[in-house]
Amino acid sequence: MVISEELLTIRDLHTGYRIKDIYYDAVDGVSISLKKNEILAIVGESGCGKSTLATSIIGLHDHNKTRVRGGIYYKNSNLASLDEEALNNIRGEEIGMIFQDPLSALNPLMRIGEQIEESLIYHSKLSKEQRIQRVLNLLYQVGIPNPERTANQFPHQLSGGMRQRVIIAIAISCKPNIIIADEPTTALDVTIQAQILDLLSELQMETGAGIILITHDLGVVAEVADRVAVMYAGQIIEEAPVEELFSNPKHPYTRSLLNSIPQMNSENEKLQVIQGLVPSLAKLPRTGCRFSPRIPWIPESNHEAEPSLHEVSPGHFVRCTCFKYFHFESEGGSLR
């Protein structure tokens, strides 16, 4: 792998939500970096903090109800400590954001063209005519067949896939260095998913932007990502290049996730599941291995008291030591 410069570096990030005057960290000590020309996937189940991580980066949280601590370093400044005005120069211009649900992410009362043009008004010095031209080019770039017509339409007149393309057009309108895509394909059906993923990879190649792709879909990860970070209960529990992660998963959680994907050729008819539930934010144990309650057959002594990330091979990190002893429950006591 070519060593390229780091675009964005997150150091020990804690993002907490306030519940009755106590802050509970949904993102609990995440450190990760995004390199240029890279698609970094962040995977995890609902509630693991991956979307919170995404929105923390551009400070979209309500300041009265959340607390962001730690470092989000971009171009020599810490985004976590910037004020609204400074953040507005980053949002849209340097970091573009793509949201999950294209049905609700566009303003229903505004024409498509206007919504794309909006960020150009504040982040570019283009004239009105140039902006309109740019909007049409953007729509064309994201694969919309008739840009002139679409620009004058309202969101409800477009299909889900088209709307997601419009949202991507908004995100890339100012040629950002980083694109954060928060579950961009979750609300779409499978054929459209593939098209949108292709589009993202294409745009990434064209613009050289770094993409942070948040998803719970391992199929999506395998298709487009360069590097993967697996999150569980607010922490990154495994991080590796994509081939490495799929061929040599280490952490019990990653292995369980991969194991729970239904296989077409499998003779085993029962779907593999991970027992237990993701603990709620307030009840989350803040010490010890957070995954241990869900693999109760692994003895306590196999876990670390304060799990840290271990580098098992270059670029492949795993949290806690339990991965060394982990076996699936169905495999009985035989250690692997």
Residues that bind another protein (CB under 8 A): 55, 58, 60, 84-85, 87-93, 96-97, 99, 101, 104-110, 115, 118-119, 121-123, 154, 156, 167, 170-171
Q: How far is the CB of 107 from another protein (least distance, A)?
A: 4
Q: How far is the CB of 25 from another protein (least distance, A)?
A: 21
Q: How far is the CB of 198 from another protein (least distance, A)?
A: 23
Q: How far is the CB of 268 from another protein (least distance, A)?
A: 39
CA atoms within 13 A on the CB side of 53: 37
Closer residue to another protein, CB minimum distance, 44 or 96: 96
Closer residue to another protein, CB minimum distance, 123 or 319: 123
Q: Which of 58, 202, 181, 175 is nearest to 120 (CA)?
A: 175
Residue 184 near residue 14 (C-beta atoms within 8 A): no
Q: How far is the CB of 31 from another protein (least distance, A)?
A: 24
Q: Which of 207, 178, 208 is nearest to 2 (CA)?
A: 208
Residue 26 near residue 281 (C-beta atoms within 8 A): yes
Closer residue to another protein, CB minimum distance, 100 or 141: 100
Closer residue to another protein, CB minimum distance, 160 or 288: 160
Residue 6 near residue 28 (C-beta atoms within 8 A): no
User: What is the number of other CB atoms lying within 10 angstroms of the CB of residue 313?
Assistant: 12
The one-letter amino acid code at 129 reads E
Closer residue to another protein, CB minimum distance, 118 or 217: 118
Distance between alpha carbon 10 and the CA centroid of its chain, in Å?
A: 13
Closer residue to another protein, CB minimum distance, 83 or 269: 83
Q: How far is the CB of 63 from another protein (least distance, A)?
A: 12
The pairing of strands 39-43 and 227-232 is parallel
The residues, any chain, with a CB within 8 Å of residue 8's CB and separated by 6 or more, are: 33, 34, 57, 72, 73, 74, 178, 210, 212
